[in-house]
Amino acid sequence: MKQKLEKIRSEALSRVAQAASLQELEEARVVYLGKKGELTAILKQMGGLSPEERPAMGQLANEVRTAIGDGIAQRRQQLEKQELESRLSAESIDVTLPGKDPRIGRLHPLKRVQDEVSEIFLGMGFDVVDGPEVELDLYNFEMLNIPKGHPARDTQDTFYIDDNIVLRTQTSPMQVRTMLERKPPIRIIAPGRCYRSDTPDATHSPVFHQIEGMAIDKGITMADLKGTLEIFAKKLYGPDTRVRFRPHHFPFTEPSAEMDGTCFRCGGKGCRFCKGEGWIEILGCGMIHPKVLRDCGIDPEVYSGWAFGMGLDRLTMFRYDIDDIRLLFENDLRFLRQI
C-alpha cells in the first residue's frame, strides 16, 4: 500500500504541475481526491490492514492528501494569475485615444416648433390648454357653428367612434371647452394632435398637429387680432417679416381671413420655396362668430373675441425645409439626426 500511495502522490503532483487550465486542474483534483478518486479508493482498503500497519499508512495517506491538495492550490493560484494577465492584455485600451461622445437625445422637430410658438404666446399673456383627442361631435362641430349636414364637414371628414363621438379634426373644441369653463377675459392657445381621413401624401396625413388661439374681452377688435399675429410672425420668422390678410370664410368666425407672411427664405423676392410669390400662407383667423359666443354662454353684445388656427406640421416643414410631411411621422433616425 505504501508503494501505491507514493505512486499516487508522484502521478498526481506531475499531472497538477502540467495542468494548462483551471478546467484541467479541476479534472486532476477529481481523479485523485474526488469521492471516486484513486486516493479515496486506497483509503477504503485501510480496514484490511493489521492494527500495527494502520497508523503508519493512515499518516502517509494524510501526507499524500495534503501534498496533492497543496499542489492543486498552488497551481490554481498560478493559473488564475496567468488568466488575469491574459485577460488584462487582451482588454487593454489606449488611454490616449479620443473618447466617444455619448449620443444625446433631442426633442422631435414638431415638439421644438410647438414649444417655440407656445413661448411666444406665453410671453404675450396667453395660457396653454390641452384636452381630449377623442371628442364629442357637439364640441368638435355643432358648437362651432357647423351643424350636421353643413358642407364644411365635407372638408373635415374624420373618424367616428359613433354618431356622437369623433377623433377631433382640430383643436377648436378646446376653445369651446374653455369658454364653457371660464369667464372673460380669456387668452389661450391650444396645441395638439388632430385627425382627418386624408390619404397620406407629401402634404397630407390622417394624423397632424394644430395650434389654435383665442382672445375674448370687452372691446376686442380685428385690429387686436392683426397686431397680435404680426408680433407672432416677427418673433417666429424675424423682425423684417411682413404679413398680409386675405378675406376668407370659416363657419365659426365672421369676418374671417387667411394670413400670409413674407417668405423667410427669400424675404419676399420669390423663390422655389414660395413658388415665386414671395408669400407663404401661415394661418386662418377671424372674429369669433356671435352665435359661437352665445352658445358658450358669453354675451356677444358685451364681449367680442378673435381666434386663429395654424398647422404645426406646416410650420415645422417651413422651418426645416422639409418637403414631405410623412418624414415627421416615420421616426427614421437618419432623418431626425439631420435636424
Total Cβ atoms within 10 A of residue 180: 13
Residues 73, 133, single domain; the answer is: no
Q: What integer pLDDT is reported at residue 49 of this predicted model?
A: 65
Domain boundary among 58, 90, 122: 90
Task: Taking the CA atoms of 283, 285, 220 and 117 in sequence, report the sign of the dihedral they define.
Answer: negative
Q: Pick the most confident of 11-15, 31-35, 168-172.
A: 168-172
CB 124 within 8 A of CB 228: yes
Q: What integer pLDDT is reported at residue 154 of this predicted model?
A: 67
CB 285 within 8 A of CB 257: yes
> Against a cut of 0.75, is the pTM above it?
no
Q: What integer pLDDT is reported at residue 47 of this predicted model?
A: 61
Question: Residue range 185-204: average pLDDT?
Answer: 90
Residues 140, 221, single domain; the answer is: yes
Residues 173, 246, single domain; the answer is: yes
CATH code, 171: 3.30.930.10
Tallying the residues shown for the chain, one arrives at 339
Residues 185, 62, single domain; the answer is: no
Total Cβ atoms within 10 A of residue 153: 17
Residues 11, 116, single domain; the answer is: no
Asked, for residue 184, whether it belongs to a domain, the answer is yes
The beta-strand segments (E) located in 197-252 are 207-217, 243-250
Residues 158, 69, single domain; the answer is: no
Q: Where is 117: in which H helix or E strand? A: helix 109-122
Q: Euclidean distance between the first and final Cα of the chain, in Å?
A: 85
Residues 78, 40, single domain; the answer is: yes
Q: What integer pLDDT is reported at residue 247 of this predicted model?
A: 94
Give 215's pLDDT tier (boundaries 50, 70, 90): very high
Give residue-wise pLDDT tens across range 167-177. Answer: 999 999 999 99
Asked, for residue 84, whether it belongs to a domain, the answer is yes
Residues 82, 207, single domain; the answer is: no
Q: Which of 129, 23, 110, 64 is nearest to 320 (CA)?
A: 110
Instruction: State how far the alpha carbon of 182 is from the alpha carbons of 139, 178, 319, in Å.
Output: 16, 6, 34
Number of independent structural domains in the chain? 2
Asked, for residue 280, whether it belongs to a domain, the answer is yes
Give residue-wise pLDDT tens across range 221-238. Answer: 999 999 999 999 999 888
Give residue-wise pLDDT tens across range 56-97. Answer: 777 777 787 788 888 888 888 988 888 888 887 777 777 787
Planar angle of CA 327, 333, 334, nearest 5 degrees = 80
Asked, for residue 96, whether it belongs to a domain, the answer is no
Q: What integer pLDDT is reported at residue 153 of this predicted model?
A: 65
Higher per-residue confidence, 33 vs 192:
192
CA-CA-CA-CA dihedral for 69, 74, 79, 85, to nearest 10: 150
Residues 73, 182, single domain; the answer is: no
Give residue-wise pLDDT tens across range 117-176. Answer: 999 999 999 999 999 999 999 999 899 888 877 776 666 667 888 888 999 999 999 999
Asked, for residue 290, whether it belongs to a domain, the answer is yes
Residue 322 sits in which domain range? 109-336
Asked, for residue 25, whether it belongs to a domain, the answer is yes
Q: What integer pLDDT is reported at residue 159 of this predicted model?
A: 83
Residues 189, 223, single domain; the answer is: yes
Instruction: State how far the alpha carbon of 115 is from the alpha carbons of 2, 215, 231, 293, in Å.
Output: 90, 20, 17, 29
Asked, for residue 100, whether it belongs to a domain, the answer is no
CA-CA-CA-CA dihedral for 243, 244, 246, 252, to nearest 10: 40
CB 262 within 8 A of CB 242: yes
Question: Residue range 250-276: average pLDDT?
Answer: 84
Q: What integer pLDDT is reported at residue 152 of this predicted model?
A: 65
Distance from C-alpha of 339 to C-alpha of 334, rounded to nearest angstrom:
10
Give residue-wise pLDDT tens across range 323-334. Answer: 888 999 988 888
Residues 121, 83, single domain; the answer is: no
Residues 226, 117, single domain; the answer is: yes
φ, ψ for residue 163 (rounded to 5)? -65, -20
Domain boundary among 59, 90, 121: 90
Question: Residue range 289-299: average pLDDT?
Answer: 95
CB 8 within 8 A of CB 39: yes
Asked, for residue 103, whether it belongs to a domain, the answer is no
Planar angle of CA 203, 322, 326, nearest 5 degrees = 45
